[in-house]
Amino acid sequence: MRVNLVPGSESVFTVNWFQIIIVISFIIILLSLGINFYLTHLEVKSPENSIIEINNQLMIFRPQKNQYLRTENKIKEIELFLKKRAEQQKYFAQILEEMGFVVPERVTFVTLSYSGNTILISGKAAHTSGLTSLMNNLNRSPLVESINLHSLSQQDNVNFQLEINLKGREHNAE
């Protein structure tokens, strides 16, 4: 019988599983570090890209914001104008109502114009007593500050032109 005293293996090539597991785990660690670096690099670029995109959007919206603010200011101006206009209309209605009380019979207005605190009236009266009565009634009115008679012509009827200065609206809050 023959005895082989040389320790040997049956095959020339042997697989060491421990070394294979270490090499595979090393490769996995390197890949995970690479992926981590890549993702971290993307996260750093992502906020910069977001900032750039947001700035671009702001550049687009800035003119629209300015237009919105201009429109909003115009709306406020219009609302203020409408409020003042409503106050003027209310005041003018008070004036017309007062004119209805102070105009005597047989006195007619041909024209009546209103601007600021001044009323210009041209009209006709049957007699000078009617015009005198009108002026006295206007002087007693709480809305009237002064009356100026600009022209007076006598024909069959008395033609006249009056300039009436009204008191400020703060005096008429009664």
| pLDDT at residue number 9 | 55
| pLDDT at residue number 170 | 52
> Is there a domain that residue 36 lies in?
no
| More confident call, 73 vs 11 | 73
| pLDDT at residue number 156 | 66
For residue 14, is pLDDT > 90?
no
Q: How far is CA 63 from CA 74, 75, 76, 140, 169, in A?
A: 16, 18, 20, 58, 42
Q: Residue 153 contacts by C-beta under 8 Å, 6 or more apart in sequence?
A: 159, 160
> Is there a domain that residue 86 lies in?
yes
> Is there a domain that residue 45 lies in?
no
For residue 76, is pLDDT > 90?
yes
> Is there a domain that residue 25 lies in?
no
| More confident call, 17 vs 75 | 75
Q: What is the pTM of this model?
A: 0.51
For residue 29, is pLDDT > 60?
yes
> Is there a domain that residue 92 lies in?
yes
> Is there a domain that residue 40 lies in?
no
CA 21 to chain centre: 72
* Number of domains within the chain: 1
Domain range holding 138? 81-167
Q: Is 91 helix (H, G, I), strand (E, B) or coil?
A: helix
| Rounded distance between C-alpha atoms, residue 9 and residue 14, angstroms | 9
Q: What CATH number does the domain containing 153 carry?
A: 3.30.1360.100
Backbone angles phi, psi at 51, to 5 degrees: -60, -45
> Is there a domain that residue 8 lies in?
no
Distance from first CA to last CA of the chain, Å, rounded?
143
> Is there a domain that residue 75 lies in?
no
Average pLDDT, the chain: 83
Q: What is the pLDDT of residues 105-157, one digit of tens each?
A: 888 889 988 887 888 999 888 888 888 888 899 888 888 888 888 877 776 67
Average pLDDT estimate for 73-87:
94
